[in-house]
Amino acid sequence: MKIVILGAGQVGTSVAESLVSEANEITVIDTDLVRLARLQDRLDLRTVVGNAALPSILELAGTGDADMLIAVTQSDQTNLCACRTAATLYKTPTKIARLRSTDYARYPQLLEAKNFAVDFSICPEQIITDYIVKLMAFPEALQVLEFADGLLSLVAVRAIPGGKLVGCPVSDLRRHIPSVEVRIAAIYRGDQPTIPDGETLIEAGDEVFFLAATRDIRQVLSELRRRDRPTRRILIAGGGNIGERLASATQDRYQVKLVEADERRARNLGATLKHTLVLVGDAADENLLSAESIEEMDCFLALTNDDENNILSALLAKGMGARRVLALINRRAYADLMQADRIDIAISPAQVSIGSLLAHVRQGDVAAVHSLRRGAAEALELVVHGDKNTSKVVGRRVDQLDLPHGVTLGAIMRGSAPVAGVADRRRVLIAHHDTVIEAEDHVILFVISKDLVRKVERYFQVSLGFF
């Protein structure tokens, strides 16, 4: 595909990295010449310096024959203007806009073809907030990702000494919880992935990815590690866009404290967050953390815009007794380094939010995409179409599929969604060797390397005879 990306910030750069590796023709527009030069040094793509909202700049970037425009600058206005311009002047088929303001969600008609002509909109800050909320609900998990409209979840968990299944083969899972259908999709030992079979042993320290119905997550987690006590008290460092959203989303369920360095911003937050205690100060100040009883906190979340500050405050909070610490870390090298250290979860904002974009870029009917392991792996939800003559998967058992090595078909959602007067007929099936794939099934695939994604997409596409 020929894709024009507006904005070379964290989100734009991550999107470019992901799409260039899949042999797309990418052009990136930004006003920062130095940032573009660094990007071009690392990746095989074109860059254009200028205001992405101007028709002349979009023309120079080749928007006239682009398949897709991805507008992810920091400015909502620039993104909206670019989408309208691309639709009016170039009839660009697909236009995606990053919208940070919540106002546009309240007035979706503004994004229709006759107005700003945005085909899909994303809000990375809200995606990250929702992601963190799920992690807080399951304190044992490293990742909790939803598929099939929330009916199915992919969960990553660190196996620790004392877990019931540690030192046991994967096949013991069925014996331990016979009433629960679960599939272990992959095991990472260090940075080495393994697609497990029944004889694969689970070792302490393994990062285990499993698929199960969302209602069964807690039961499966208890087999891999001792259950942590529920989250009750949290302290948020940083009252920016994400910190404010998270406090607003959790203040009615937990005891929430928020630390913000800017006094004016803190006063505004105090006025809007009715059930959150807002403090003015530096979250890396040990006297402040001590005064706020950091040792009693179930979760400390470092959510400022400064990687170094997030790392320092999270390490300090952990050292002073916070039970679990999470830090937003934009730089991938920092995130990889700190995840293995005393920070429980290092969150890369761009990698968390990129899945919403990839779902629209992927070929075939893709319902959801989640980027895993800092973008090295992926989990996809594909909708199966066709019949036995036009599809390589319909009417075939899982063990008859010719999937590339490193790809696991873990689960299926089958049945129709509820409509007026008709009950919800969807059901989750954990895939076994003899499970037969049917047309319109939603299949959940775990791909240990992004290099395999295009092969998977081609394999699931229907032949021309279907049309």
Lowest mean pLDDT among 202-206, 259-263, 399-403, 420-424: 420-424
Q: Rounded distance, CA 67 to CA 170, Å?
A: 44
Residue 310 has pLDDT above 70, yes or no: yes
Residue 31 has pLDDT above 90, yes or no: yes
Q: Rounded distance, CA 276 to CA 339, Å?
A: 28
Confidence at residue 1, expressed as pLDDT on a 0 to 100 scale: 85
Confidence at residue 278, expressed as pLDDT on a 0 to 100 scale: 96
Confidence of residue 370 (pLDDT cuts 50, 70, 90): confident
Name the residue with tokens 């929430």: 256
Residue 61 has pLDDT above 90, yes or no: yes
Confidence at residue 339, expressed as pLDDT on a 0 to 100 scale: 60
Cβ–Cβ < 8 Å for 392, 463: no
Cβ–Cβ < 8 Å for 94, 360: yes
Residue 423 has pLDDT above 90, yes or no: no
Structure tokens at 50: 């200028």
- Which is more confident, 304 or 369? 304
Confidence at residue 465, expressed as pLDDT on a 0 to 100 scale: 47
Displacement of CA 312 from its chain's centroid (Å): 25
Give the model confidence (pLDDT) of 97-126 as tens digits.
999 888 888 898 999 999 999 999 999 889
Structure tokens at 215: 């209602």
Confidence at residue 363, expressed as pLDDT on a 0 to 100 scale: 62
Confidence at residue 177, expressed as pLDDT on a 0 to 100 scale: 87
Which whole number is the average pLDDT over 143-152? 88
Confidence at residue 235, expressed as pLDDT on a 0 to 100 scale: 97
Q: Rounded distance, CA 418 to CA 67, Å?
A: 34
DSSP assignment of 4-33: EEE--SHHHHHHHHHHHTTT-EEEEEES-H
Confidence at residue 262, expressed as pLDDT on a 0 to 100 scale: 95
Confidence at residue 14, expressed as pLDDT on a 0 to 100 scale: 85
Confidence at residue 421, expressed as pLDDT on a 0 to 100 scale: 66
Residue 427 has pLDDT above 50, yes or no: yes
Distances from the Cα of 341 to the Cαs of 319, 325, 331, in angstroms?
Answer: 12, 11, 16
Kind of pairing between the strands at 152-158 and 68-71: unpaired
**What's the predicted TM-score (pTM) here?**
0.86
What is the chain's mean pLDDT, rounded?
Answer: 89
Structure tokens at 117: 């002509």
Confidence at residue 244, expressed as pLDDT on a 0 to 100 scale: 95
Cβ–Cβ < 8 Å for 413, 395: no
Instruction: Give the DSSP H/E element, type plus range, for residue 49.
Output: strand 46-49
Q: Rounded distance, CA 464 to CA 391, Å?
A: 10
Cβ–Cβ < 8 Å for 349, 330: yes
Which whole number is the average pLDDT over 433-450? 90
Q: Rounded distance, CA 73 to CA 9, Å?
A: 7
Confidence of residue 336 (pLDDT cuts 50, 70, 90): low
Give the model confidence (pLDDT) of 217-271 as tens digits.
988 888 887 777 788 999 999 999 999 999 999 999 999 999 999 999 999 999 9
Task: State the Rg of the chain over Cα.
Answer: 23
Confidence of residue 467 (pLDDT cuts 50, 70, 90): very low
Length reported for the chain = 467
Cβ–Cβ < 8 Å for 463, 410: no
Confidence at residue 428, expressed as pLDDT on a 0 to 100 scale: 86
Confidence at residue 28, expressed as pLDDT on a 0 to 100 scale: 96
- Which is more confident, 343 or 259? 259
